[in-house]
A and B are shown apart, each in its own frame.
Chain A
Amino acid sequence: MNVRHSHFKLMLAAAVVCSQLLLLTTCAKKTASSASHLVYWSANNQYEVDLARELVARWNSLHPESPVTHQPVPESQSTEEAILAAVVGKTTPDVFSNMWPGDVEAYARAGQLVALDTFPDFAEVIGARVDPALLDEARSSDGHVYQIPWKTNPVMVIFNRKMLAEAGYDHFPRTYSEYLQAAERIVRDTNGDGHIDRWMGITDIRALWWQRFFDFYPLYIAATGGHTLLEDGKIAFDNQQAVEVFTFLQTLFARGYFPKERMVGRTDVFLQGVVASRFTGPWEIRHAEKFKPEGFVYDFAPVPRPDGVSGPVYTYGDIKNIVIFRNTRRPRLAWEFAKFLVSREADLLLLEMTDQLPLRANHLEDPLYAPYFAKSPFMKRFADQARFVRGTDTSPVLKEIFDILSNEFEACVVYGVKTPAKAIHDAARQARLVLE
């Protein structure tokens, strides 16, 4: 037999075997993930992975006939990117618990999500859990609800008590004028080199749309008493309150109360006493407790508002929700599992294991959670704030609107090349075009 011929046959056989193996592996994976098990994706930070594992273990012990497989959302630049890739590749899980509400509308319009209000017990389950106003916020433009409001991380201000006390404050400034006054006392050049090295606060100056969730947006919600950017699908932020927020922030940068840099490559500037305050969420508690220097005392307060505004202080809630993807083969079971994820007991685990707040209207009154809040006074503060949070509007172009605002923020607030009134007006004009 010809030697070359036999080599050729060998190579051909190897190629065929390899391709068959690849095919079989792919098919096997697909079958395992979509037919016999319900697949649940959680966020991929360690706290939530631990929580998801615990919840799934409990579910599986209660329902051995309907097992759930847990996977953290695949590593990516952002969760949104990973989900988008999964939708395109038709590899979405049955249930996903870290959905940013701003994305839900686009997925719902594309027919990728199950309308949860089509389940007969939806109203009963959600009604017992969520404030009606929040449920309205979660409702899509077609009138259906595609998401279960699950958890919130209200944006508040963390502040250095000692620095504030030295400036003569026993509480955090509640208004813009108080904040600016405190900043004037706190901000200074401590080593006498003619350069400021202690600031009132810090925020990311880059024009990244999602960074505005931690400066402009919570301040805007607070200034307007709980309004968001859109009203009846139309631009609603072309107003005096938005201009006041931009003016306030612009003053902070113009006077050097906020640094025009990101302080990368150094240790936590808040815990080192370099900045006196920062807009943040409850995730900061564990971080501060772990890394704070000895004797460091901090506290949390609501975000400041323009002078003369009364009523409760609203803020951005940084809400994440649970959705069921349309490609699930067992929607009823997925709904049962989703209900399990928002049960009272599951919400207690959410608190205990992640220090994140369930979007449960009565969690401060519920005796089940009382021991947790008793030993976590800071979380109690966030829980109080959680009654007055707003999410984001339901619009498929929300990211673009935030991007526009972010660019105007950069031009006006950070670099002062535009007046606040013009910046807000320009942002509103561009956003209207995008909406059209």
Chain B
Amino acid sequence: MDARPITSRTSPVSPQTGRLSVGQGRRRHTANAGYVLVLPYIAHFLTFVAFPLVFSFVLIFHRWDILSPMQWIGLGNVHRLLHDRLFFRALANTGVFLLIHIPLQIVIALALAVFLNQKLRLRGFFRAIFFLPVVVSGVVTTMLWDSLYAQDTGVLNNVLSSLGLGRVPWLTSPTMAMPSIAIMATWKNVGLYIVLFLVGLQSVPQHLYEAADIEGASPWRKFRHITLPMINPTVVMVVILSTIGGFSLFIEPYIMTGGGPIRSTLSAVLYIYHQAFQFNHMGYAATLGFFFALIVFMVVLLQKRVVEQETGL
């Protein structure tokens, strides 16, 4: 049994000389260098994450238009939020977007990933093509789709018209506008999820397929009983990522519709933006922001639990 006091094992100071031992001294210098190297990140975190977070929490209890001094109003902003029908409309709109966007995104991304996972000629080219919209600026792609969707002059309606079909009011009908935005957002983001699914697909052990081949399983049965269960973790990740991404819907309605027609594409983030930067209601916008973040957190948590229960992960 070791009879030495614990301090002699942990202290960097030599009990004989009272100075740092050579090994301990080096470790301390290395640690100091590490602290210096992480300083920029810590400074960035404190300035752009921690301070705004704390400051916006303080704002919840104040009325502040940026120009005038802050005015304490207690839970006034929360009271206003609870009675703000337009905010709940914006939340519902965001929900509609998610309900269309997430399933559409997963089905298309998975189908294309399975397709691109085959031994195809020009596979790299196709992968690049599908990934291209992800790296193009959101503003640019939105403006492009804005012109494609134009009711009287857009390419989509011209094609439909030449086929003898009617023109679709893509962005000018309160019932069509949000689905149209969801289609566009799916096109924009699907490349990213294709890549994630490809990673998942390539990690499926080949011997499982070989065993299924010996048993004479059809491609659909192999997909249903091997591929899908094996890529379940990827599916969970994609669902969660696209949910968080979908909740932040902003650029598309901001540019294409301004939140219309008749507020049918007013997303929660767009509404918060209007309150903060159009009307300078900073306290109220902060309250909306926290409330919205809480909702996103709860939805993602719930989603994760449900998917984990369903898949046994």
A-side interface residues toward B, CB under 8 Å? 2, 4-5, 7-8, 11-12, 15, 81, 84, 87-88, 106-107, 109-110, 112, 193, 195-197, 205-209, 259-266, 396-397, 399-400, 403, 407, 410-411, 414-415, 417
Of B143-151, B200-208, B218-226, B233-241, which binds chain A? B143-151
Whether B33 and A84, one on each chain, are in contact in the complex, defined by CB atoms closer than 8 angstroms, is no
* 15 further contact pairs, Cβ within 8 A, besides A106-B65, A206-B260: A4-B30, A84-B280, A196-B152, A205-B260, A207-B263, A260-B151, A262-B146, A263-B152, A265-B143, A265-B148, A266-B150, A266-B153, A410-B261, A410-B262, A414-B261
A81 touches B172 (CB 8 A): no
A415 contacts B33, C-beta separation under 8 Å? no
**CA distance in complex: A12, B39 (Å):** 11
Chain B hits for A7, CB < 8 A: 33
Do residues B29 and A87 form an inter-chain contact, with CB atoms below 8 A?
no
> Are A415 and B153 interface neighbours, CB within 8 A?
no
Contact indicator A265/B147 (Cβ below 8 Å):
yes
A to B contact number (C-beta, < 8 Å)? 103
Q: Are B33 and A205 in contact (CB under 8 A)?
A: no
Are the CB atoms of B143 and A206 closer together than 8 Å?
no
- Mark each residue of chain B from 66 to 91: 1 if its CB lies under 8 Å from any CB of chain A, else 0: 11100000000000000000000000
Q: Which residues of A contact B153 (CB under 8 A)?
A: 261, 263, 265-266
Indicate whether B125 reaches chain A with its CB closer than 8 angstroms.
no
Question: In the complex, A208 Cα to B29 Cα: how many Å?
Answer: 59
Q: Mark B141-172, 1 if CB is under 8 A from A, else 0.
A: 00110111011111000000100000101011
User: With the chains together, A258 CA to B171 CA distance in Å?
Assistant: 16
Q: Point out the residues of chain B lying under 8 angstroms from A264, CB to CB.
A: 143, 146-147, 150
Question: CB distance A206 to B278 under 8 Å?
Answer: no
22 contacts between A and B (CB under 8 A): A2-B25, A2-B29, A4-B26, A8-B32, A15-B39, A87-B66, A88-B66, A106-B280, A109-B68, A110-B67, A110-B68, A196-B152, A259-B152, A260-B151, A261-B151, A262-B146, A263-B153, A396-B65, A403-B278, A411-B262, A415-B261, A417-B262
Q: Does B122 make an interface contact (CB < 8 A)?
A: no
Place the interface of chain B in its size category.
35 or more
Report chain A residues within 8 Å CB of B263.
Answer: 207, 407
* Interface of chain B, main secondary structure: loop
Are B68 and A4 in touch, CB under 8 angstroms?
Answer: no
CB pair B29–A8 under 8 Å, yes or no, is yes
Q: Which of A12, A207, A266 contacts B259 (CB 8 A)?
A: A207
Report yes or no: B260 in contact with A410, Cβ–Cβ below 8 A.
yes
| Interchain residue pairs A-B with the least CB separation, the first 8 | A265-B147, A110-B67, A206-B258, A8-B33, A261-B151, A207-B260, A260-B172, A208-B258
Q: Does B12 contact A (CB under 8 A)?
A: no
Min C-beta distance of A255 to chain B, whole Å: 15
**Complex contact B150–A265 (CB within 8 A):** yes
Q: Is B95 at the interface (CB under 8 A from chain A)? A: no
Within 8 Å CB of B37, what residues of A?
Answer: 11
Shortest distance between the CB of A74 and any CB in chain B (Å): 15
With a cutoff of 8 Å between Cβ atoms, the chain A residues found around residue B161 in the complex are 193, 195
Measured between beta carbons, the chain A residues less than 8 angstroms from B274 are 403
Kindly list chain A residues whose C-beta atoms are within 8 Å of the C-beta of B180.
none
Q: Could you tell me the distance between the alpha carbons of A81 and B143 in the complex, rounded to whole angstroms?
A: 22
* Chain A residues whose C-beta falls within 8 Å of the C-beta of B147 in the assembled complex: 264-266
B279 CB contact (under 8 Å) in A2, A259, A400: A400
B262 vs chain A, min Cβ distance (A): 5
| Minimum CB distance partner of A4 in chain B | B29
Residue of A nearest to B68 (CB): A110
B146: nearest chain-A partner, CB-CB:
A264
Q: Roughly how many angstroms separate A197 CA and B277 CA in the complex, as a whole number?
A: 38
Contact among A4, A261, A403 for B152, CB-based, below 8 A: A261
**B166-202 Cβ-contact flags toward A at 8 Å (1 or 0):** 0101011010000000000000000000000000000
Chain B residue nearest to A15 (CB atoms) is B36
Q: Is A11 a contact of B150 with CB atoms below 8 Å?
A: no
Residue B227, interface by CB 8 Å:
no
Could you tell me if A206 and B29 are in contact, using CB atoms closer than 8 angstroms? Answer: no
Which residues on A sit within 8 Å (CB–CB) of B144? 265
Residues of B near A266 (CB, < 8 A) are: 147, 150, 153
> CB distance A12 to B172 under 8 Å?
no
**How far, in Å, is B53 (CB) from chain A's closest CB?**
18
Write out the residue numbers on chain A whose beta carbons fall within 8 Å of the beta carbon of B172.
205, 260-261
B242 interface contact, C-beta 8 A: no
A334 to B235, CA, bound (A): 63
Rounded to whole Å, the gap between the CB of B161 and the closest CB of chain A is 7
Most chain A CB within 10 A, of B66, B161, B169, is at: B66
- Which of chain B's residues 214-267 have a Cβ closer than 8 Å to chain A? 257-263
> Which of B32, B67, B161, B278 has the most C-beta atoms of chain A within 10 angstroms of its own C-beta?
B67
Whole-angstrom CA separation of A213 from B32 in the bound complex: 61
A11 to B37, CA, bound (A): 8
> How long is the Cα–Cα vector from A265 to B141 in the complex, in angstroms?
12
What A residues does B167 contact at CB under 8 A? 195
Q: Roughly how many angstroms separate A87 CA and B67 CA in the complex, as a whole number?
A: 8
* Min distance, Cβ A176 to any Cβ of chain B, angstroms: 24
| Most chain B C-beta atoms within 10 Å of own C-beta, residue among A7, A15, A206, A265 | A265
Bound CA span A345–B26, Å: 74
Whole-angstrom CA separation of A193 from B174 in the bound complex? 26
State the CA gap A363–B254 with chains docked (Å). 41
Q: Are B262 and A415 in contact (CB under 8 A)?
A: yes
Q: With a CB–CB cut-off of 8 A, which chain B residues contact A4?
A: 26, 29-30, 33
Q: How far is the CA of A107 from the CA of B262 in the complex (A)?
A: 32
The answer to whether B279 and A262 touch across the interface, beta carbons within 8 angstroms, is no
Please give me the residue from chain B that is nearest to A406 by CB atom.
Answer: B258
Which residues from B are CB-within-8-Å of A193?
161
Q: How far is the CB of B312 from chain A (nearest CB, A)?
A: 48
Please name all residues of chain B whose beta carbon is closer than 8 Å to the beta carbon of A209 when the two chains form the complex: 278
> Quick check: A197 and B152 within 8 Å, CB to CB?
yes
Query: Which residues from B are CB-within-8-Å of A417?
Result: 262
Q: Decide: B260 and A263 in contact? CB cutoff 8 A.
A: no
Contact between chains at A81 and B277 (CB < 8 Å)? yes
| Least CB separation from B259: chain A residue | A207
